[in-house]
């Protein structure tokens, strides 16, 4: 463990939080730091990370009017 700390490769547990706003934004936080944000066409009321046919990193959002949108996070 000492080697990992010295090399900067030690990973600590963290929380990943996905939030939607009435300003049409989807924001993803790692602990308290914003790591990804995107503007959507409608306010995202419901958010879910999904995988479809071997494609990971998709976010499905639904607005209060029932509009569905699928977004791709991409790769890291």
Which domains are seen in the chain, by residue range?
2-72 (2.40.10)
pLDDT for the residue numbered 46:
94
40, 61 contact by CB (below 8 A):
yes
pLDDT score at 2:
55
Position 27 scores a pLDDT of: 94
Taking only the tens of pLDDT, the chain with its 76 residues reads: 556 556 666 667 788 899 999 999 999 999 899 998 989 889 999 999 998 888 888 899 999 999 999 888 776 5
Integer angstrom CA distances of residue 41 from 7, 23, 51, 76: 43, 10, 21, 24
Give me the pLDDT at residue 8, please: 63
What pLDDT was estimated at residue 56?
84
């Amino acid at each position: 463990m000492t080697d990992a700390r010295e090399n900067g490769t030690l990973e600590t547990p963290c929380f990943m939080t996905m939030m939607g706003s009435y300003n049409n934004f989807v924001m993803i936080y790692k602990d308290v730091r914003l790591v990804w944000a995107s503007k959507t066409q409608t306010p995202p009321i419901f958010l879910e990370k999904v995988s479809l046919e071997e494609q990971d990193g998709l976010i499905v959002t639904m607005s209060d009017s029932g509009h569905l949108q699928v977004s791709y996070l991409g790769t890291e």
